[in-house]
Structure 1
Amino acid sequence: MSTPEFSLSVFYLRQIAEQIRSIGGDVEHWLAHSQLDEAQLADSSLQIPYAELRLLIGAALSSTKEPALGLLVGERLVANTHGILGYAAINSASLRQAVQLLAHYLRVRTSLVLLSYEIHGDQFRLVFSEPVPLGEIRRPVLEAVILTIKNLLDHIAMGSCNVSEVAFPFDAPDYAALAQDLFKCELRYGQAWAGIALPLNSIDLPLKMADPASFQDAVQICQRELDKLLKSESLSTQLRRIMLEKQGGFPSLNVMARLLHLTPRTLHRRLLQEQTSYKEIIEDVRHTLALEYLKSGQLSIQEIAYMLGYSDIANFRRAFKRWEQLAPSLYRLRMVPSRIK
């Protein structure tokens, strides 16, 4: 499986550094785990690649011995710390518009998580998912991101719409009381999803800080930033991102070429130039999603096989044994202890 080309704005790494410093940690020693120095943390244009970020978050957890680090970092991030995306959200006409904005442009701040939204009964849910399995940094990343977005929604709603509940796909931690104090709403652990639930009957109420002109100006800047990010991506990364966002939808090469405004021959040729192929990318994405689905424990192996486009569960088992050198059922058993922690 190839190294994921996902990243986080250096701004958020700076918040981790400040949190480490606030509890007496050595920031310089922490950064020694990477190629970064403290001066680079001030470069707002810098995006930290996934592999380096995973190393740094792991080192921060280890050096501070603070299991609630994700929550503490998330609490530091107030509404005006999210750049132009935060400014656009503050000027949204309604919470529905703010959520739609965040779902579309969250990538300009981080690609570590995807945000989607759905209606579930009387709830309007913001659902966070992992485009790549986050492994040991899953809990701190989800806690930080969800608390940050929850606080942003509270800020722009100004009491007009209170969060109904927050859901996490892992068991309650030892610091659950701290989490309750920070979220100030119902927390539900061990759920089949991660995210925030809002009352459906309140998400279209007009917001007091709404400014349509400022909102449109900010959205245009967000779009320019997103366009710039997309242009810097390799073609193979674009394909992986599209497939991961679809969470199991695998268009044919011809359909994907049409989506990208390319001919099938051009798409094939450009992938060869990147030393890969459409088949290899689909295989890589299936591998990534299989690991995520198995770790979540929410789907049966037969359901996972179906989600990944295998008509025969035996074919999925063979593919998984080729990827991980063990059966999917054994992999899931091995992952259960780390998932519960």
Structure 2
Amino acid sequence: MNQPMEWALSINYLRQVADQLTEMGIDVAPWLASHELSLADLEQADTSVPWEVVRALFLEAEAITGESALGLMVGERLRINNHGMVGYAAMNSGSVRQVVELLERFIPLRINLVMVSHQVEGNYLNLQIRELLPLGELGPFLLGAVVVAVKNVLDFITLGNCQVAEASFTFDEAFDRELVRSLFRCPVRYNQNWTGLSLPLEVVDQPLRTADPAAFEHAEKLCERELQNLVSDASVSARVRRLMLAKQVNFPSLTVTARILHMTPRTLHRRLLDEGTSFQEILDEVRHSLAMEYLKSQHMTIQELAYTLGYGDTANFRRAFKRWTGVAPSFFREGNEI
């Protein structure tokens, strides 16, 4: 379990899920054992759990509890000291904006399934949380947990006065309204085009009383070093795949990808061949993965999906999908309708 994982979650967060289940009176040992994990594994520091295992465990946890808001409840358990050096840096930040920028850079150190970005719209800064890997039916669980955890960080650094104006989610209303009201204490919108928190611009640059510039600089340097180690440990194919998933539309060409990764196209091609793959194979894998999740979500027509994945002709997408799965996209969607 100590090997670097391409798509993974810190075991610290899995431990929080286990603790929540325990508080609900559930014996977590069988839940973990079904995926070759134990209670002792949860105490291992600095390890990660592969995405396939995370996905299965979280879906099973929801099924066991029957609790649609389990993700929110797990997120509420996460305090600033649960986020390692990233949390320590946030604790000593000089402003809310500095924390937002910190999360944008270093959230992969804690969870590499999502990315953070921000956008200023009118009088608000929108802190946006976007899934890098299509989360499908697990979206409400994981994104709900991340949004609440981020709000907890903001509450801590502002001494409970972060003044979130609104919370947004891309999915349908999925949580208990009373619980949502108590956790967010602000309007919560569903079926939006982004997930995250809206913050009044007037508060994001106010100096924080908990700021410690020297401690922040030290923590930031440690985060930077850890991030460099993470990047250097990743294979070239993993970096290319992550870049494509971050885009999800308008996939960069081989030439553009090589430039982003500071290589020549020829070097990138050779490095991928050395790893037993090619740029086109990775592109096909990413398109395949995204197509299956988007088809399950029912939110796009086949034509819209083909365009989103970069196919100029819907017929080409249909042929590619049948090559990947053996069935037409419409047949696959019908089999996954709820």
For normalisation by structure 1, the TM-score amounts to 0.89
Whether the 8 Å CA contact 1:78–1:151 is kept in 2: the answer is yes
* Worse-superposed segment, 319-328 or 208-217: 319-328
Superposed CA RMSD = 2.3
Determine the structure 2 residue equivalent to 1:117: 118
Determine the structure 2 residue equivalent to 1:230: 231
Measure, in 1, the Cα distance between the counterparts of 2:194 and 2:263. Answer: 36
Determine the structure 2 residue equivalent to 1:276: 277
Asked if residue 136 in structure 1 is aligned to residue 137 in structure 2, the reply is yes
- Measure how far apart 1:57 and its partner are: 1.1
Asked if residue 221 in structure 1 is aligned to residue 227 in structure 2, the reply is no
* Worse-superposed segment, 26-35 or 253-262: 253-262
- Measure how far apart 1:177 and its partner are: 1.7
Whether the 8 Å CA contact 1:169–1:296 is kept in 2: the answer is no
Aligned residues: 334
SS in 2 for 1:45: coil
- 2:311 corresponds to which letter in structure 1? Y
Determine the structure 2 residue equivalent to 1:40: 41
- Measure how far apart 1:34 and its partner are: 1.3
Measure, in 1, the Cα distance between the counterparts of 2:221 and 2:22. Answer: 36
Say if 1:261 and 1:46 are closer, same or farther in 2 by CA, change over 3 A: same
Say if 1:334 and 1:94 are closer, same or farther in 2 by CA, change over 3 A: farther
- Structure 2 segments unaligned to the other structure (5+ residues): none
Say if 1:182 and 1:336 are closer, same or farther in 2 by CA, change over 3 A: farther
SS in 2 for 1:311: coil
Measure, in 2, the Cα distance between the counterparts of 1:190 and 1:326. Answer: 30
- Measure how far apart 1:68 and its partner are: 2.1
Determine the structure 1 residue equivalent to 2:91: 90
- 1:231 corresponds to which letter in structure 2? S
Amino-acid identity (%): 49
Whether the 8 Å CA contact 2:136–2:296 is kept in 1: the answer is no
Measure, in 2, the Cα distance between the counterparts of 1:64 and 1:160. Answer: 33
Measure, in 2, the Cα distance between the counterparts of 1:244 and 1:293. Answer: 13
Whether the 8 Å CA contact 1:127–1:195 is kept in 2: the answer is yes
Whether the 8 Å CA contact 1:84–1:221 is kept in 2: the answer is yes
- 2:94 corresponds to which letter in structure 1? A
Determine the structure 1 residue equivalent to 2:64: 63
Cα shift readout 1:276-299 (whole Å, capped 9, x = no counterpart)? 110011122223333455555665
Measure, in 1, the Cα distance between the counterparts of 2:337 and 2:123. Answer: 32
Asked if residue 265 in structure 1 is aligned to residue 266 in structure 2, the reply is yes
- Measure how far apart 1:160 and its partner are: 5.1
- Measure how far apart 1:329 and its partner are: 5.6
Measure, in 1, the Cα distance between the counterparts of 2:297 and 2:115. Answer: 16
Q: 4+ residue stretches of structure 1 with deviation over 6 A?
A: none
Say if 1:262 and 1:25 are closer, same or farther in 2 by CA, change over 3 A: same
What is the correspondence of 1:6-85 to structure 2 with a 5 Å cutoff?
6-85=7-86
Whether the 8 Å CA contact 1:33–1:59 is kept in 2: the answer is no
- Measure how far apart 1:155 and its partner are: 1.6
Cα shift readout 1:221-247 (whole Å, capped 9, x = no counterpart)? 111111121222121111011121223
Whether the 8 Å CA contact 1:172–1:189 is kept in 2: the answer is yes
Say if 1:174 and 1:238 are closer, same or farther in 2 by CA, change over 3 A: closer
Whether the 8 Å CA contact 2:69–2:175 is kept in 1: the answer is no
Cα shift readout 1:157-180 (whole Å, capped 9, x = no counterpart)? 235540011111222236222122
- Structure 1 segments unaligned to the other structure (5+ residues): none
SS in 2 for 1:225: helix
- Measure how far apart 1:138 and its partner are: 1.7
SS in 1 for 2:40: helix
Measure, in 2, the Cα distance between the counterparts of 1:266 and 1:18. Answer: 47
